[in-house]
Structure formats: C-alpha cells, structure tokens
Amino acid sequence: MTDKQTALQTALIDAGLNTFQFHNDGVDYPVKVTDLPDASLVRIARYGKRVLNDVVNSTASRSDKTKATICKEYIAKLVNGEVGSGGGRARISTLERALRNVVGTYLVAAGVSNKDAAQLCKEPEKGFRLYLTKRGLKGDKLEAAFTKHWSTVQAKARAFVALEDFDLD
C-alpha cells in the first residue's frame, strides 16, 4: 500500500483488479482503481459498472450533450468523489449481484454487447462458460478452464461483497 492508496484500493489491487474498463457507445474508458475514492468504489461495487451506462443513456435522452461527453462527465464525478455510494437493498444477494457484475464484465470484454451481457450473466456460471466459449474453448478444455478459473471469478465477486461492509467513516 502506498501513502496515497486507501485500504480499499489496496484490497482491490491485491485481488487483481487494477482498472475498471467502462464501455459506452463503442468506446472504452479505463479508470485506475487508485484514481477512484472509496465512495465511488463502493458505488461501483453496489450497482456495477452498468450504472455508468444507465446514467449516460437516461441523461442523453433528455440532453443535447453527446453520450461521450456525458460519459466523461460522469467518470469525472466518480474520480472527484461527487457520486455517493447510494443506499437501498438489493433484490438479489450481494454475492449473486457481484458474480453477475464480474461475469458481465468478462462477457463485454469478449465482445458481447452490454445489453446481451446483462441478460446472459443472470446465470453467472452459464455466462462464464459462454465467455470461455467466446475465447475459443470447447468440450473438455472448456470444462477444465471453467473448473480452474471459476474460483477466481468467485473470489473477485467476494471482494466486491467485502466492499459492501467497508465503512467509509
């Protein structure tokens, strides 16, 4: 942990998550974990990266700004800590939601649209198998890769769940 790095940032980096890859309207927006304050990290953990697209799409429908401009503005708010961690209760377990978010991220990275990934990751194991298929694996190799890597996917999801309990005070 560096002097400028928070314990939460360190935990995410130690779990292998160095950068969030936001994607909107065909453009990638990478944001380093160390660029985000804890409140923004907690918001991402609670609502997933999908929150960016939800904000961009709802704002774009009632604004003259381009989606790229809105996206950059929202990311700037995340980086500046101007977006709170939010509240409310999830309708699904936090671990299930975190698994969906992790698998959805993999699917989008494999070229699946955000909309399709949101549907496919509702069954995280199935969605992760589809991701492995998109990576060219099939049959026994697919199952071996699933067995080998599924625990890592679960560990990443558990790291996000740990953020739920992280006290910002």
The full 3-state SS of the chain, as one line of letters, equals: CCCCCCHHHHHHHHCCCCEEEEEECCEEEEEEHHHCCHHHHHHHHHHCCHHHHHHHHHHHCCCCCCHHHHHHHHHHHHHCCCCCCCCCCCCCCHHHHHHHHHHHHHHHHCCCCHHHHHHHCCCHHHHHHHHHHHCCCCHHHHHHHHHHHHHHHHHHHHHHHHHHCCCCC
Residues 64 and 95 placed together within one structural domain of the fold: no
Average pLDDT, the chain: 83
Residues 4 and 68 placed together within one structural domain of the fold: yes
What pTM value is reported for the model?
Answer: 0.50
Asked whether residue 49 carries a pLDDT value surpassing 70, the answer given is yes
pLDDT > 70: what percent of the chain?
89
- CB within 8 A of 146, min separation 6: which ones? 125, 128, 129, 132
Residues 20 and 80 placed together within one structural domain of the fold: yes
Last residue of a domain, one of 59, 88, 117: 88
Asked whether residue 90 carries a pLDDT value surpassing 50, the answer given is no
Residues 82 and 124 placed together within one structural domain of the fold: no
Asked whether residue 24 carries a pLDDT value surpassing 80, the answer given is yes
Residues 115 and 161 placed together within one structural domain of the fold: yes
The stretch 88-110 carries a mean pLDDT of: 78
Residues 1 and 82 placed together within one structural domain of the fold: yes
Number of domains in the chain: 2
Residue 94: how many other CB atoms lie within 10 Å: 19
Domain that holds residue 63: 1-88
Lowest mean pLDDT among 18-22, 56-60, 92-96, 141-145: 92-96
Asked whether residue 14 carries a pLDDT value surpassing 60, the answer given is yes
pLDDT > 90: what percent of the chain?
22
Asked whether residue 89 carries a pLDDT value surpassing 50, the answer given is no
Residues 58 and 99 placed together within one structural domain of the fold: no
- Predicted pLDDT at 140: 93
Last residue of a domain, one of 53, 88, 123: 88
Residues 56 and 128 placed together within one structural domain of the fold: no
- Predicted pLDDT at 88: 40
At what angle are helices 38-47 and 50-60 packed, to 10 degrees?
Answer: 90
Residues 136 and 103 placed together within one structural domain of the fold: yes
The stretch 23-36 carries a mean pLDDT of: 88
Quote the CA–CA distance of 53 and 65 in Å, as a whole number. 15
Residues 64 and 83 placed together within one structural domain of the fold: yes
